[in-house]
Amino acid sequence: MTLTTEDLQRLFAGIAEDIAAERDHLCELDGAIGDGDHGLAMDAGCQAAAKAVGAIDAGVAPTTAFNVAAKAFLNAVGASSGPLYATAFMRAGAAAKDKQVLSDDDFLRVFAAMAQGIQERGKAEPGEKTMVDAWKPAADAALDAWQSGKPLPQCFEAGERAARAGCEATSNMTAAKGRASRLGDRVIGHIDPGAASAVIIVAAIAKFAQRQWLSHHTS
Ligand code: ADP
Ligand code: MG
């Protein structure tokens, strides 16, 4: 399949829609082990990113679209998720290398670069009860599937499954990063809100990849 800035406009709109639908739930999760604003932060960031990307000329390169998304997300969000996702989108832009059209391989690399950017910006390792516990296994699983020759939709399906499992696993963890790290054992039994929103985003990307791939392979 191929991917242009016009496709990314649909992707960002889809992510914003799915995050908006879970806004209150994400706030509840953050209310249990943080300050209760995660749904508001992610909703504001994703809406701003979708709006900004939607407003650019569809003829510009995907790299520009990701950079515009990064800036919009950062400006809209005061919480720690702001710089984490802004870095993810900046890295996505760099991975897209100013190409006008992205291939399957490019899109997989963009996805992996987002996960790596989040990990490097927040300096969190897996097991520290953060969004990295969803993003890192998702990227690893998607890349593994790609390297073993699976078609793109199956790679993102594997990524989504891994993100869900990683998010579930945060329930039994204590937190080593972010606000929840001040609460010690009291966070056990609660999943990490950032991991939960990461699952929504990974799932939105998987859904988008599936549709995109089908539209290129059924004609
Ligand atoms: P804040 O904690 O500033 O209110 P949010 O509520 O938007 O920010 O986001 C909280 C989420 O951010 C956490 O659930 C966690 O997943 C993620 N997070 C916090 N610190 C880090 C970090 N250093 N690295 C990766 N993710 C982090
Ligand atoms: Mg919060």
- Domains of the chain (ranges; CATH) run 5-218 (1.25.40.340)
Q: Is 79's C-beta closer than 6 angstroms to any atom of ligand 1?
A: yes
* Residue having the nearest C-alpha atom to atom 26 of ligand 1: 130
DSSP 8-state symbol, 12: H
C-alpha of residue 148 to centroid of ligand 1, in Å: 33
C-alpha of residue 7 to centroid of ligand 1, in Å: 29
Q: Is 194's C-beta closer than 6 angstroms to any atom of ligand 1?
A: yes
Three-class DSSP category at 3: strand
Ligand nearest, relative to CA of residue 131: 1
* Residue having the nearest C-alpha atom to atom 9 of ligand 1: 81
* Residue having the nearest C-alpha atom to atom 24 of ligand 1: 122
Half-sphere exposure of 81 (CA within 13 A, CB side): 27
Could you read off the pLDDT tens digit of each residue along the chain, which spans 219 residues?
899 999 999 999 999 999 999 999 999 999 999 999 999 999 999 999 999 999 999 999 999 999 999 999 999 999 999 999 999 999 999 999 999 999 999 999 999 999 999 999 999 999 999 999 999 999 999 999 999 999 999 999 999 999 999 999 999 999 999 999 999 999 999 999 999 999 999 999 999 999 999 888 875
- CA gap 209, 218 in Å, rounded: 14
Tell me how many helices (H) and strands (E) the chain has. Answer: 9, 0
Is 210 within 8 Å of 200 (Cβ atoms)? Answer: no
Closest CA to 167 of 140, 193, 141, 201: 193
Q: Is 179's C-beta closer than 6 angstroms to any atom of ligand 1?
A: yes
Closest CA to 131 of 165, 98, 166, 156: 166
Pocket test for ligand 1, best of 42, 81, 201, 202 (most atoms within 8 A of CB): 81
Is 117 within 8 Å of 90 (Cβ atoms)? Answer: yes
Q: Which pair of tokens denotes residue 123?
A: 């300096």
